[in-house]
Chains A and B, each alone.
Chain A
Amino acid sequence: MRGGEKKFTLKSYKKLFQSLYPQLCVFAYKYLNDLELSKDFAQEVFLKVWEDKITFQNENHATGFFYKSVKNKCLNYLKSKQYKTTERYELANLEDYETEEFYMSEAVTIETTAVIDKAINKLPEKAAQVIRLSIEDYTNNEIANELSISVNTVKDHKKVAYRKLRGFLSFLTVK
């Protein structure tokens, strides 16, 4: 059957909010250095999408749209009179903020961090610790030392983690 762009229900919008809102707040914070304002901006974008009944082709498109909208809101704010008169800011700084490179690297860093956290949250405590250290480039030996367990136990924890995350990981890598 033909696919279509879905309109959000309150339920599906809640899901989207929960899966994107924290990252967007942190992302805005990178520009604004003010967490409360960052939350406001993120919520304003969510409000706009809801009220204008904006639909998206897929999740990638939706995610991109939210990041881009938050970025634009932040940059507009930084360029606004209100900001200029209340805060001292460096022009050079703003130019850095306006680059595609800054935007994409911050967005990817934050989004990746969120995905990893979500995956690790699914694991039992010990396995989570092992994977956390493994991501930080600890070898199995180093992990064993750090957690005072044997190397074989480290390997077992990894196996458990991969098995538990199998669905999640394969979902992520499906092209």
Chain B
Amino acid sequence: MDNSDKIKPLSEELAASLIKNESTSDFEKSEIFDEEIKSQILSNIKTGEYSDILKGIETKKDWKAFKKKIKKRPKKSFRLWSYGAAASIVLLISIAFVFNKTDKKQDLDFEEPTIVNNNIEVGTDKATLTLEDGSDIILEKGQVYKSNNISSNGEEILYSPKGKRGKVTGNEVAYNMLTIPRGGQFYITLADGTKVWLNSESKLKYPVTFRRNETRKVELIYGEAYFDVSPSTNHRGAKFKVFHQSQEVEVLGTEFNMRAYKDETHINTTLVEGKVSVSTANANEVLVPNQQSSLNLETSKISKATVADVYNIVSWKDGVFSFENKPLKDIFKVLSRWYDMDVIIENTVKKEERFIGTFNKSNSIEDILTAIKSTGFINTYEINNKTLTIK
């Protein structure tokens, strides 16, 4: 029987109750000790039996000595395999490092990163809801919003379908907009049951309710969204269309990812399930699952290719960033949106170096940097306020 994991919670409860002069429920009920030992423990704590010897330990001094020990020993080379599930662990591997190990310095410099004022935070669920009258409502954790058929708990927003008596006849349908800032993400269920995951720095426009027998239209103004579209068969065959100023995607009940960032040269639409048709002013591509269309915004040409692993493209909605053979500069572009930071990569060669890796979006930026650093690929980095410099 191993009770090791109970040491901390038991001790904390006991400490709190002794300070507050209250009875100690967990400790008293605990079956780890018999009554005699319990009273022995209590008496030793109350008289501060171990207090003096504890205070005699020079933790600061010993940490300094210890730190030298861990720096002196060369770090073991980065392991390709990982403990536990890959998704829960930061893992970023320089491809050049793996396949070309001999070229790289094995004795990794253990240069300490410079951190002036780390204001880089992990992204959270947040968005701004713009109502038809132009008024803005901030949605974030802990903020509850409710009106008509809209409700939000600050982490997602739900548009419920209007009841039979809901009046959507006659007048124009009202549109709302959801804007996700850098460092944000959000999840919305539209009135027809279509689910949309919105990535950082994205904006979606959609009707508050959908009119019967009419094509359902939403607009990804910019950014990245994953659509799980409620099938047409549930809506008397009404099609679903996603507009963008440069293309439109026609859907018949399906799941797909559309990425149309303002600072990127291509719009990529990737189909996970079902069937979609991507159209521009002068071209049209029909996608089957695992295919991706790529619209070049400069030439207006659209191309189609099969993607090896759709997971790398859509994993962001499940809290994971997954990169397959991506240049460092692209990886940091994605990271800069989620962590809302500016990134400077000083070495232009390194920018193009490709990596394989996956990590959890709940990781702090420093965890990720430590993983990249442990590949030996970057020497060190600097964080100053919200700017990250890779050396």
Contact = CB atoms under 8 A, between A and B. Distances in A.
Contacts of A135: 18-19, 45-46
A26 B57 contact: yes
Interface stretch (A57-65, A74-82, A87-95, A145-153): A57-65
Interface in B47-95: 47-51, 53-55, 57, 59-60, 62-63, 66-67, 69-70, 73, 75-76, 79, 83-84, 87-90
B53 to A, nearest CB: 5
A136 interface: yes
Interface residues of B, number: 70
A34 B6 CA distance: 27
A154 to B, nearest CB: 12
A175 B378 CA distance: 42
A127 B131 CA distance: 54
B219 interface: no
Nearest to B124: A1
B319 to A, nearest CB: 4
B213 interface: no
B54 A117 contact: yes
A97 interface: no
A104 B7 contact: yes
A17 B89 contact: no
Q: Is the interface of A mostly helix, strand, loop or mixed?
A: helix
Contacts, number: 191
A7 B15 contact: no
Given A1-B319, A2-B319, A108-B10, A136 B15 contact: no
Contacts of A59: 8
Given A9-B366, A43-B66, A64 B4 contact: yes
B9 interface: yes
Nearest to B366: A9
Contact of A22 (B59, B69, B364): B59
A9 B44 contact: no
Interface in A127-141: 131-132, 134-137
B172 interface: no
B45 A2 contact: no
A6 B367 contact: yes
B62 A5 contact: no
B145 interface: no
Interface of B is mostly: helix
B83 to A, nearest CB: 7
B3 interface: yes
Given A1-B361, A4-B87, A14-B63, A29 B53 contact: yes
B151 interface: no
A65 B300 CA distance: 59
B2 interface: yes
Nearest to A17: B63
27 contacts: A1-B362, A2-B318, A2-B320, A2-B362, A5-B89, A14-B63, A18-B60, A22-B59, A23-B54, A26-B50, A26-B57, A35-B53, A47-B69, A53-B79, A55-B84, A63-B4, A64-B2, A64-B3, A64-B5, A100-B1, A101-B34, A105-B37, A109-B44, A109-B49, A113-B44, A115-B11, A136-B48
Interface of B: 1-16, 18-21, 27, 32-34, 37, 40-41, 44-51, 53-55, 57, 59-60, 62-63, 66-67, 69-70, 73, 75-76, 79, 83-84, 87-90, 112, 318-320, 360-364, 366-367, 370-371
6 tightest CB-CB pairs across the interface, nearest first?
Answer: A64-B4, A4-B88, A111-B11, A115-B15, A63-B8, A22-B57
